[in-house]
Amino acid sequence: MTRHQLTDETKSPLTLTHQLVLRFSGTRRGARLARRLAVQQLTDWTALPYDSDPARAVALVAAELASNAIRHGSLPGRDFRLALLLLPDCYRIEVTDTRPERLPPPAAPQPADETTGRGLLLVQAYADRWGCAVRDAYTKTVWAEVQLRAAGS
């Protein structure tokens, strides 16, 4: 569970098995649809059941990344982009928003009486790797990878 600040991910090219990229409205409904699509694509591409540990992790991570994009990274009237990538050993979720100047803070424990601010802690707990990439002056992408196989297999 590590966080990587990357600005150039071309140093280690990704070997894609499947890829899907869609735009969603910057609303709670858009975030909900993004979460549902992320799990649906995982189960379609891998034949893993909906109640598998990877599917649950993908649902949680996709929900948090999409929610953060609409809450902290969107401008009025702007959509966010969801990219789903099936790699040989993991499923990568990328959410791109329109606020490159608002990078996600390091995931830090929140006081027990706080009711918000735990999203990145959940991403850190359920994703094997996550990070942020700013590729241009208009967008940033927060990504997370969920491992599909047990470490020993």
Shortest CA distance to 86 belongs to which of 2, 20, 11, 8?
20
16 within domain boundaries: yes
Provide the pLDDT for residue 61. 97
Number of domains in the chain: 1
Average confidence score pLDDT of the chain: 82
Whose tokens are 């006081």? That residue is 111
Task: Report which of 45, 25, 37, 43 is spatially closest to residue 83, judged by C-alpha positions.
Answer: 37
Average pLDDT over residues 58-81: 87
| 122 occurs within a structural domain | yes
* Entry pTM: 0.80
Q: Is the pLDDT of residue 74 over 80?
A: no
Q: CA-to-CA distance for 81 and 61, rounded, in angstroms?
A: 15
SS3 content of the chain, % helix, strand, coil (to 5): 35, 25, 40
| pLDDT surpassing 50 at residue 3 | no
Query: What pLDDT score was predicted for residue 4?
Result: 45
- Domain range for residue 8? 2-147
**How do residues 94-129 score in pLDDT, each as one tens digit?**
999 988 887 776 655 555 455 455 678 889 999 999
Instruction: Give ∠ CA 70-142-129 in degrees, rounded to 5.
Output: 135
- Greater model confidence, 1 or 107: 107
CATH code of 10's domain? 3.30.565.10
Residue 59 lies in a domain: yes
